[in-house]
Structure formats: C-alpha cells, structure tokens
Amino acid sequence: MNNHLIAYISELPEDALIILYGNSPIIRNGDVHYPFRQSSDFLYLTGISSPDLILTILNNEVILWRDPISEKDIIWGSDKWTDIRMIETSWILDIRDKNDFEVYKNQYKNQILPQEVLVSGIHKLRLIKTPDEIEIIKKAIQITEKTYEYLLQNIQPGMYEYEIEAMIVYQFRLHRGIEAFPSIVASGSNACILQYTAKKKKIETGDLVLIDFGVEIGGYGADISRTFVVGGIMNSRQQEIYDAVLQVKWFTEDALKPGITRKDWNIGVKE
C-alpha cells in the first residue's frame, strides 16, 4: 500500500467499513466517451486511474473491486487497468470481482462509515503535501510558466482566442500533461465575463488578454491567471487597473506565511 493509504487507515475508527467509489466513464455522444478522469480522492489513496472501481477498507483488510476486462474491452479499447498494473501501482493485493461486492457490503451494513466522515478524513490528509507531491506540483507550475512564456512570444494581433487555447493544449501535451481545467482565454471586454468559454473573438492590437490556465501532471494541477497587452502598450486606464491588481498580488504573496489561516488571509486581501 502507498503511504497515503497507510496514513488514512491509521486514522480510521476500528471495525468501520470504508467504501470509496472511483469515477465511471462519461458518455459524450453515441458510443464516444469523454477522456476519463479518476476521482481525486480515489487517486490519492490508490494511484489508480482505472474506471468503475470500488475501494473498501475494514480494519487492515483492503480490497479493490472491479469489473473483469472483457473481450469487447480488448477489441475496442478501454481505460481499464490489468490486475498486475493495479497491484504494482497501489500495492493492494486483494482484487475481487465487483459482482460479489453487494454480498460483502451487506455483511457489514451496520458498520459503514458515513460518506461525509470518510471524505473529510481524506481531505484532511490531502491538505498537507508530501515532498514527492510538492515536486510534482512544482513541475506542473514550471510547465505552465514555460507555456505562458511561449504564448507571449507567439501571440499576434489578428489571432483568435481559440488559437491561443490551441497553443496552450499543444504545449501541455508536449510535456505529457493535460489541462487541469478548461482554459479561459478572454480578450477585450470578454475578460469581464466570469468563466468565459466561447473563445471566438478576434484579438485586436492593444487588447488586454486574460488567460487562466494550468497543466495537470499525475493528478496534480497548476492554476495561473495572467493579463497582458497584445501588439502595443497599455493606455492609461488599462495601466491603472493593471497596477492596482499587481499591488494586490504582491500583498497576497507577502502575507501568505506559515500559521496564517485561509480566512484571515482572504480578509486581508479584500481589505
């Protein structure tokens, strides 16, 4: 078992049955699925990015429940991992057929830990990152920063917002990453729309462009927001707003120190 799972088990009440469900594939249309993304909690405890799994923990008995890999899965392709791959990744040796799960569950139905208690315990552990996790996050940030530098060198007036998005995805894939979330590329007045997604506007000389983007590596994502002017210099009003936001950014970085709570940090930033 990995260290995350060992730490989680050590915090569990005796004789409580933990049931954690992994994500299932989501249909886009017809027989086409969206790219599979495992539940972050499930990925944290197991490291496994295979769909339709169930993890159960009862004292020191840890079981993975799965659907067998069918002939159809082999012919058409599937995100399902083999037993060997799951064992090598998670070091969970007990893998069982999911058809037997309900019988097992019913044996301990009065011992099932409520989901809100289960999840809060995982999230408490996830708040504190290990050195290995920090290194992965640093790598994600570095890739995102390099992508930003690439954008600054290649964006030209006359391009469309979707072209910038394409550059972002291209750079992420070159580094074997994916988008941690759908990138926002908003130019001109579109930057005033929260969670803008259309990405259809032509970028004009002097436009401010807001990008909010980040790569995901191994389940850990970066998240960077930047605003810059394209093909010109800022006018006085643009510069005034840019400088005001920059001052807040500097304040937040300086105020963020060990011991401060997120609540106090947020209050200080708003003030």
C-alpha–C-alpha distance, residues 1 and 94, integer Å:
11
Residue 268's pLDDT band (boundaries 50, 70, 90)? Answer: confident
pLDDT of residue 74: 82
DSSP-assigned letter for residue 231: S
C-alpha–C-alpha distance, residues 216 and 137, integer Å:
9
Provide mean pLDDT across the span 96-101. 96
**What are the tens digits of pLDDT across the range 111-166?**
999 999 999 999 999 999 999 999 999 999 999 999 999 999 999 999 999 999 99
pLDDT of residue 72: 86
* Maximum distance among all Cα pairs of the chain, rounded to whole angstroms: 71
pLDDT of residue 158: 96
C-alpha–C-alpha distance, residues 67 and 96, integer Å:
9
Tell me the one-letter amino acid at 95.
I
Question: Pick from 139, 156, 245: which is nearest to 167 by CA?
Answer: 156
Provide mean pLDDT across the span 15-37. 94
pLDDT of residue 139: 98
pLDDT at 66 over 90: yes
Helices 161-174 and 131-154 pack at an angle, to 10 degrees, of 140
Tokens of 256: 């963020």
pLDDT of residue 120: 96
pLDDT at 1 over 80: no
C-alpha–C-alpha distance, residues 97 and 158, integer Å:
56
Provide mean pLDDT across the span 228-235. 89
37-46, 211-220, 246-255: segment of lowest average pLDDT? 246-255
Give the residue carrying structure tokens 């998005």: 165
Residue 67's pLDDT band (boundaries 50, 70, 90)? Answer: very high
Three-point CA angle 50, 53, 57, nearest 5°: 125
